[in-house]
Amino acid sequence: MMDWKNLQYFLALAKAGSLSAAARQLQVEHATVGRRIHELEKELQLALVDRRGKSWNITPEGQQIATIAHRMELDTQAIGRIADSTRHGLKGTVTISAPPALATTLLIKPLAALHQRYPDLVIRILGEARNASLNDREADIAVRLTRPQKGDFIIQKLSDMTFNLYATSSYLKSTPQPDWRFIGYEGGGGTTPQQKKLEEYAAGRPFAFWASSLELQYAATREGAGIAALPDFMISEQDNLVSVEPGDILLNREIWLVIHADLKNSILIRTITQRLHEFFKYNSIIQ
């Protein structure tokens, strides 16, 4: 019988591209990865890796095996999702991935209230700009600002979020419009829809701050560093931030709730998604 664990180590090498990267991903020593792959080759009586030179290269036969192993991994994950979806009772762990600013400002409150109601429900929130893989079970629920175009997902619209230009009132009073400076995403170049709109509005005027997150842009704006495109839900009366163009909306973005189709019957998932829908319905974030 072939050892499935050995196949998992080989698949990690095929995905990661190097022995060291696979070892880091698996959180084991290089020698352990090498030993496992060697054992798999002995089991199959087939060379999966070309060890000539400094790097390990997957053989053509190894590539075929890796493709099959990846399908097996996805099937195993699907089995886990089906098992999760059939369990009863609000007990277990659910992982939610969402953009950091949205997770901090909007999601914590309803999720904390839900946990207080169901103490055996454990919630993991991943505040991250990237899109976590639902297929690979990096998250059970994803809150995204872009609607997925492919995948076996249940996709529902949660709400809309509006962006406007903000600065401190003292900055706008002390700085003539031709001298305005702006605060945007690191790298610029329209990396997000709001960055693109901000660059259009700046019309060639320089950026004073580049930041990798909305939280950093918000902090820089509060300190009077310039003008930023911020979601309205981040702004409170205590911030001393005012709209640069009162009455106008710079940009509207949709908020999407995404789950894998295999989890649609999970009582845990249904309870959380229903709570989020209720929260956004009765706490509109469109200003």
Q: Are residues 66 and 107 in the same domain?
A: no
Q: What confidence tens digit (pLDDT) does each residue in 109-153 have?
A: 999 998 888 888 889 999 887 777 787 888 899 999 999 888 889
Q: Are residues 142 and 190 in the same domain?
A: no
Q: Are residues 134 and 259 in the same domain?
A: yes
**CATH number of the structural domain spanning residue 26:** 1.10.10.10
Q: Are residues 148 and 184 in the same domain?
A: no
| C-alpha to C-alpha distances, 260 to 12, 46, 86, nearest whole angstrom | 23, 36, 14
69 lies in some domain: yes
207 lies in some domain: yes
34 lies in some domain: yes
DSSP labels, 148-175: --SSSEEEEEEEEEEEEEEEEHHHHHHS
Q: Are residues 149 and 262 in the same domain?
A: yes
State the number of CA atoms in the 13 A half-sphere of 217 facing the CB.
Answer: 28
**CATH number of the structural domain spanning residue 149:** 3.40.190.10
pLDDT of residue 287: 44
129 near 186, Cβ under 8 Å?
no
Q: Are residues 57 and 135 in the same domain?
A: no
Q: Left (φ > 0), alpha (ψ -120 to 50) or beta: where does 240 sit?
A: left
Spatial CB neighbours of 212, under 8 Å, sequence gap ≥ 6: 185, 186
pLDDT value at 285 more than 70: no
123 closest CA partner among 283, 281, 275: 275
Three-class secondary structure of residue 213 per DSSP: coil
Q: Give how many domains the chain has, as a whole number.
A: 3
Q: Are residues 192 and 177 in the same domain?
A: yes
Q: What confidence tens digit (pLDDT) does each residue in 187-213 have?
A: 766 678 999 999 999 999 999 999 989
Compute the average pLDDT of residues 41-54: 87
Q: Are residues 145 and 174 in the same domain?
A: no
The number of beta carbons lying within 10 Å of the beta carbon of residue 197 is 16
Q: What confidence tens digit (pLDDT) does each residue in 214-237 have?
A: 999 999 999 999 999 999 999 987
242 lies in some domain: yes
Q: Are residues 69 and 105 in the same domain?
A: no
Please report, in angstroms and rounded to a whole number, the separation of the first and last CA atoms in the chain. Answer: 62
287 lies in some domain: no
Q: Are residues 269 and 148 in the same domain?
A: yes
Range of the domain at 103: 94-158+254-274
Name the token pair of 154.
Answer: 């249940």
